[in-house]
A = this chain, B = another copy of it.
Amino acid sequence: MAATRDPEGPDNWERQVKKGWLELAILAILWNDKFYGLEILRRLEKDTDLVLAEGTIYLILARLKAEGLVDTKWVEAESGHPRKYYWLTAAGRRRAVAMARYASGFLSSINTLIQPLLEKEEK
């Protein structure tokens, strides 16, 4: 009996502004290393406010793979169960840079737009 999805509440718009940024965030996380699914999920939570349902990460990773932006390989873990590792392809690196450049411009224009609302702080 929890969180019946109140469209008035703040929960909804928080989710909506985060929507669409997961691909970029995941590509950025994979910029320097290979990681497996749940590991990416944990890094997202730590580095950004992007907390997402477990199932969602695989949905997005599958999409990235279908687009040829990442490649994968199953790896047997000495302790545990096999893990599927993900890393960027050449196309993935190009896309990551393109998205980052676009995002950078977009973020700063939004930032400018919301400055007046933030200056409300100081009396």
Q: Report if A2 contacts B (CB, 8 A).
A: no
Q: How many copies does the complex hold?
A: 2
- CB 8 Å contact bits of A100-120 with B (1 = contact, 0 = none): 111111110111111011101
Say which one of A5-13, A34-42, A78-86 lies at the interface with B: A5-13
Q: How large is the interface on A (under 10, 10 to 19, 20 to 34, 35 or more residues)?
A: 35 or more
A28 in contact with B103 given A10-B98, A23-B13 (CB within 8 Å): no
Q: Is the CB of A28 within 8 A of B67?
A: no
In residues 1-51 of chain A, which contact B (Cβ within 8 Å)? 7-8, 10, 13-21, 23-25, 28-29, 31-32, 47-49
Q: Which residues of A contact B (CB under 8 A)?
A: 7-8, 10, 13-21, 23-25, 28-29, 31-32, 47-49, 67, 95-107, 109-114, 116-118, 120
